Structure 1
Amino acid sequence: MRRSRFTEDQIIGVLRLHEGRVKTADLCRRHGISDATFYTWKSKYGRLTVSDVARLRALEDENRWLKKLLAESMWDVSALKNLLGKN
């Protein structure tokens, strides 16, 4: 998946500028983004604060780690079943 040029903190900053009554077209032009990107950001990050984004990032990292543990465990079980089945 392609990484964004903007961090979550920067995205929140852009959305806060829009709340400060800056026009969407001017904001998009200033930051070099399209209107579609802006509205996608608004739907995803519109109600979040910087601390919420940090907590969300931590939860996503923990979820990624747990999925990795589960996959490794399932792989070990599958390998053991194959060894036991061949005897």
Structure 2
Amino acid sequence: MSTHDQGHESVVERTSAPQDRPRTVLDVRSLGPPAPLANTLERLADLPDEAVLLQRNDRAPQFLYPKLEDRGYTYETLETDAEVVTVIWRE
């Protein structure tokens, strides 16, 4: 389920996320709350620890941040013209 395209690559390169790990993209832009939060946490639970998840959203996922911190994830959110991308990984 890994997706690589120019837009996502450039977003990851602008973060502190590891550049050499497998990446998975989760697009939650069309989902209403609380589906983006639930889908992101479910996907993270299914991914290996070395994977990097890119969540594509239409807003910053404010309620996701404390849950990521509780679970030991590091994250960075970048806003582009078209979307908000949160890059999530384990150190």
If the length of structure 2 is used for normalisation, what is the TM-score?
0.25
Higher helix share: 1
Higher strand share: 2
Higher-Rg structure is: 1
